[in-house]
Amino acid sequence: MKGIHHLGLAVSNLQATSTFFCDLLGWKLVKEVPEYPAHFVSNGSVMFTLWQTDQNAAKFDRKTNVGLHHVAIQMDSEQELLDLYQKFKSSDSVEIDFAPEFLREGPAKHMIVDEPSGVRIEFIWWPQ
C-alpha cells in the first residue's frame, strides 16, 4: 500500500467547507459532481472529497459516534502553523477548539479547529 488516495468527508454545508479549504488553506477545487453533490479539493499532495449531506443530517459527536474523530494535516513549519491560526482567528466560519500548543511535552505543536460543517481538523507541526 502506498498511502491514502483521498479522504471522503460528509459535510453539512458544501460551499462553506469548500471555501474553507480553497480560500483559507489555499487548496484547489479539482472536480465537482453536481448531481451528488460533491467537491474534490486538493493541495497537490492530498485530496479530500466533500460530500453534501441531507439538510437534516445529525452532527457528528466524537464522544458518542463511531467514525472520523478528526483528520490531521501536517504543516511545513511552526511559523506556517502560527500564520494559519491568525487566519482562523479572523474568520467567522471557523471554530477554534484550541490555539497552537505543544503536543504533550513537545517539541511538536498543534491546534484543532472545526471547519464550517463541524469536521474537526488538526494542524500539526512535527519537527524532524
Q: Given the C-alpha cell 494535516, which residue does it identify?
A: 73
The answer to whether residue 96 sits within a structural domain is yes
Which has the higher per-residue pLDDT, 70 or 61? 70
Tell me the mean pLDDT in the region 13-23: 97
What does each C-alpha distance from 109 to 15, 47, 87, 120, 121 come to in angstroms?
Answer: 30, 23, 17, 17, 14
The answer to whether residue 63 sits within a structural domain is no
The answer to whether residue 35 sits within a structural domain is yes
C-beta atoms surrounding 51 within 10 Å = 15
The answer to whether residue 102 sits within a structural domain is yes
For the stretch 55-63, contacts whose Cβ atoms lie closer than 8 Å and that sit 24 or more positions apart, written own/partner, are 57/10, 57/12, 59/12, 59/118, 60/118, 60/119, 62/120
CATH number at 13 reads 3.10.180.10
**Range of the structural domain that residue 27 is part of:** 7-55+69-125
Number of domains in the chain: 1
The answer to whether residue 27 sits within a structural domain is yes
Residue 64 confidence (pLDDT) above 90:
no
Phi, psi for residue 77 in degrees, rounded to 5? -150, 160
Burial category of 115 from C-beta neighbours within 10 Å (exposed 0-12, middle 13-18, buried 19 and up): buried
Instruction: Give residue-wise pLDDT tens across range 83-101.
Output: 999 999 999 999 999 999 9
